[in-house]
Amino acid sequence: MPRLDPHSYFDTDQPRTRHLDLDIAVDFARKRVTGQVTLVLDRPSSGPLDLDSKGLAIASVRTDAGPPISYELSPEEPILGSRLRLMLPPGTGKVVIAYETGPDAIGLQWLAPEQTAGGRHPFMFTQFQPIHARSMIPCQDSPMVRATYHAAVTMPEALTAVMSAGPQDAPAGSAPGTRTMVFDMPQAIPSYLIALAVGDLASRDLSPRARVWAEPATVEEAAWEFAGVEEMIVRAEQLFGPYEWDRYDMLVLPPSFPYGGMENPRMTFLTPTLLAGDRSLVDVVAHELAHSWTGNLVTNATMDHFWLNEGFTVWAERRILEALHGEGAAAASWSIGQTALAEAIARFGADSPFTVLRTHLEGVDPDDVYSSVPYEKGSLFVGLLERTVGRKRFDRFIRAYIERFHFTSITTEELMAFLEEQLPGVAAKVGAEEWLGQPGLPANAPVFRSASLEALTSLAEGWATGARPAAGQLATWSPGELLVYLQHLPRQLDAASCRWLDETLNLTSRGNYEILVEWLTIAAGSDYEPVFGRVREVLMKVGRMKYLRPLYGALGKHPRTRKLGREIFAAAAPTYHALSRRVVESVMEKYDG
């Protein structure tokens, strides 16, 4: 039985799900989702149908006509979960599964009222990438399988639901004290892009096709921060073709959301750390928007090909930034990404198989090897292709790539065959085999330079010899340029240097978390006590993995900061997403003493 996805029980010889019909209730008291899913198959079938599940309690399985279907739930495997094998009677086109989620479903996070901005109502959100849809829905949880979906969601009447789908008129007849909301997703998507959030939510329109959702306490702030999203969409369409998802809505989640953003179609999830108050971080949205073409339209077939999603998207994000803000902004973004890539390669080791692009992750939990490598090394490879053939020719290639593979899930090998068809000989010219199959960063990696970047890095690298920015220079720096400067400073400084930086650049009070966390990482790694309170404040509030890893890592460098790190984690861990806890635990394993 062919299983081409090492992270799914999906069997390519069996029928595929072409549509899911969810009818579920969100039970905050028990922290469970209960209900049923109807799987509509691509053809009438008989015999075994293997589904993914993790921690689910299966109540019954039947055909849509009513007769029960026999099933077997295998013992749970740590990474894959349990195989749910159904034995379909002849001619089965639909199966109906009644079930309930488990108490520790990794794809769901339940927040108490005090963990929200409003403090009055609970909140729940999903995070299914890479392989966690199976913890809420028994399904073929592989990006190889794309399906449309319909959902009816019942919740406490004071709350509102949003999904990666279009809202429809709700039916009457909800149980007392509840309300039901209905959603439709007419475009076929992989299971990891199904998304649900339920909480005390309000919205503001940003354009006829864009809206932002957030808790009432932060919705006005979010609407101001993201007011320019329509221009982003227009610029992206000019680069990559029509936006095919009808709407681009966004949800600003509570601070425990573990990622910067998640590109769920029609409803991008965003961290509240983007609400800097000066629109200095809204360009993060460009990445999630770019996924509307690279990732959501053209999707990696399995996690072994994850770089197809993220490498192309980081490259596309920087093209959008260049169109909006010029080459300097794009160059700064490339520089920041290069630093993140160097840190990831150093963490894994330059010879690690987790620093190749086309990975082989059988037996490996993709969450455990999540890093900047597929993002930044992947984008450098795409950028190298662009430089090699020229921008105009490569832009034609990208349009053709999206058109050929849109609404499909592909492998690296399929991309490379298409590259050879469209741009013969280019793969060999750039050494594609080394990029795709060898660890580390190839010597022909492109470097994105600008005069301002060269000046910033030179100034930072001259710190030990007394080089300091002048007041006139500081006044002209953008947030991205300041971040580049901080990234190139020594990781440990004496107290006088830390004090000068903080007083001169006003760092500890920054609302821009990219700058703030970079500074706190330097200061904590330097055992600079005046920032300890701010470090505690950030780590107690924010669950974004990108920030937790460097901050807890910096705290591990000195005896008293290790003690501080352990104290903070003991208090903060219950508020972190399970993925974030795993990241911090992996960092703290390296603490000694």
Active-site residue identified among 99, 192, 375, 485: 375
Distances (CA, A) of 62 to 34, 36, 93, 153, 381: 17, 11, 11, 21, 48
Whether the CB-CB separation of 140 and 42 falls below 8 Å is answered with: no
Nearest-5° angle of CA 517, CA 336, CA 465? 80
Whether the CB-CB separation of 579 and 258 falls below 8 Å is answered with: yes
The residues, ordered by sequence, that sit 6+ positions from 463 with a Cβ below 8 Å of its Cβ are 489, 490, 493, 497
H or E element at residue 93: strand 82-100
The residues, ordered by sequence, that sit 6+ positions from 29 with a Cβ below 8 Å of its Cβ are none
Active-site residue identified among 100, 225, 288, 514: 288
| Phi-psi map region of 329: left, alpha, beta (phi>0 left; psi -120 to 50 alpha) | alpha
Longest Cα–Cα distance of the chain, Å, equals 80
H or E element at residue 90: strand 82-100
Cα–chain-centroid distance for residue 152? 25
32 bridge partner residues: 27
Which 8-state DSSP code applies to residue 582? H
Q: Give yes or no: 375 in active site.
A: yes
Q: Give yes or no: 288 in active site.
A: yes
Q: How many CB atoms lie within 10 A of CB 474?
A: 15
From the list 553, 470, 536, 544, the residue with the least C-alpha distance to 514 is 544
Grouping H, G, I as helix, E, B as strand and the rest as coil, residue 384 is helix
Whether the CB-CB separation of 53 and 59 falls below 8 Å is answered with: no
Residues serving a catalytic function are 288, 375
